[in-house]
Structure 1
């Protein structure tokens, strides 16, 4: 079938001098070569093609042409597969380019996780800025970049951008409210303030109501703030309760620069 469909087999002096049955199905005054069971192809060709070239030479030429045709088909398949592979690679590149994970991972330039070094007293009806932190040497803690002052408890933004802040405070009530004493204003606020101006700037805040019979509890505040380069934040505890409180040591304060 390959030889019958090859170009140049049905024309030319060589084609006219040989059987058309082998080449293209028709010949110049020659009967088709029948398929004889029990006879080899060489015998069939010698018997059915009068005046043709010897069968071995004819078979060798046919094999050479068949090999050329197969080579051409193989090259065509290689080209098709190569084009398909290149097209798939381009699609994968475009797909990767459209995802947030494409390219190198973004390096976090500013981040920290610290803890209070000692207990901090907060008197009743007062607001206290938390100070004296340390960087714990434990798995999972981190500190990258500048701006953290462990003594003052203030974190100064090295670059303008969006920062996520979290503070988790463990509080102990030092005195219980007596029975019959009014419980108005028995609240506690945890704040993360910008420039220590908790009433004027945009700040993060959590309000918790103190219940009788609870001596130890936890309060957390978390959120995102936009800081200009050079602005600082710190943690405040606003004690509106009728008894003094203590912020225990190892309370957490952390931040990560999200982006600019």
Structure 2
């Protein structure tokens, strides 16, 4: 097929104008039979003719002709390989351009656009008295690398994040806590515990929430406690961080404690 479509096959030496038959796909091509009275043009197997000499009727100079044809076939194959390489290179360069253009556009390609996310920190120290329950407030977003805020719904003053759309949100809170005084001697250890929760609509006992419990050590003045997980919020519902201090001494949530959330999907 390459030789049939190559330029100059219909013209040239008489050897190039010799005709042969095209195989019918079953591998049983036929050459003209002398004396049969049937010409090659009338044979159904020879309906398409190419400039390849028939092996059955090849003259004495056939090897030279075959070598010429092989050289031409090799040149044609090299040309096809070069075209394929050029096409693949163009396609690869096109993919790289799409990736580069998608870096500045979050909606480009298969990258998912995050519609709602934030990462904030407590602005000042927050005191939590013993055997008390308190919602953390007064956050801010520092101007430094790695901090982010996208979408609406975050109230830095109240510490409540209202979901702009219904969906699954991943929440994380990391609190740095200082015990202001040690527990009294003889106080039961079972009371010396701390709970940190992320609750929906401030109803930690009824609605779904995230919770972690830490048993406070008697000699530990500074420690860190974290809670993380996924909550489903309806549009308009809010989530916030709560601290349940069941210890026998007051606690202080240090400034710089983290609260963050990212919308995973709807």
TM-score band w.r.t. shorter chain: 0.5 to 0.7
The structure 2 residue matched to 1:8, chosen from 19, 23, 33, is 19
The structure 2 residue matched to 1:109, chosen from 115, 121, 126, is 115
| TM-fit CA distance, 1:23 | 4.0
Give the whole-Å Cα distance in 1 for the aligned partners of 2:127 and 2:198: 18
Q: Give 1:34-113 correspondences, 5 Å limit.
A: 71=72, 74-75=75-76, 103-113=109-119
Tell me the C-alpha RMSD between the 2 structures: 3.8
Q: Give 1:1-260 correspondences, 5 Å limit.
A: 7-8=18-19, 20-23=59-62, 71=72, 74-75=75-76, 103-260=109-266
Q: Deviations over 1:110-136 (max 9, x none)?
A: 111100011111111111000000001
| Secondary structure class of the residue paired with 1:192 | strand
Give the whole-Å Cα distance in 1 for the aligned partners of 2:128 and 2:198: 16
4+ residue segments displaced more than 6 Å: 2-6, 9-12, 65-69, 80-87
| TM-fit CA distance, 1:224 | 0.8
Distance 1:7 1:20, change over 3 A: closer
Distance 1:20 1:168, change over 3 A: closer
Distance 1:198 1:5, change over 3 A: same
| Secondary structure class of the residue paired with 1:184 | helix
Q: Deviations over 1:209-250 (max 9, x none)?
A: 011111111100001111111110000000111111111111
| Secondary structure class of the residue paired with 1:21 | coil
| TM-fit CA distance, 1:195 | 0.5
| TM-fit CA distance, 1:71 | 4.7
| TM-fit CA distance, 1:84 | 10
Contact 2:184–2:248 (CA<8 Å) still a contact in 1?
no
| TM-fit CA distance, 1:103 | 3.1
| TM-fit CA distance, 1:77 | 6.5
Give the whole-Å Cα distance in 2 for the aligned partners of 1:118 and 1:195: 24
TM-score (norm 1): 0.67
TM-score (norm 2): 0.65
Distance 1:86 1:138, change over 3 A: closer
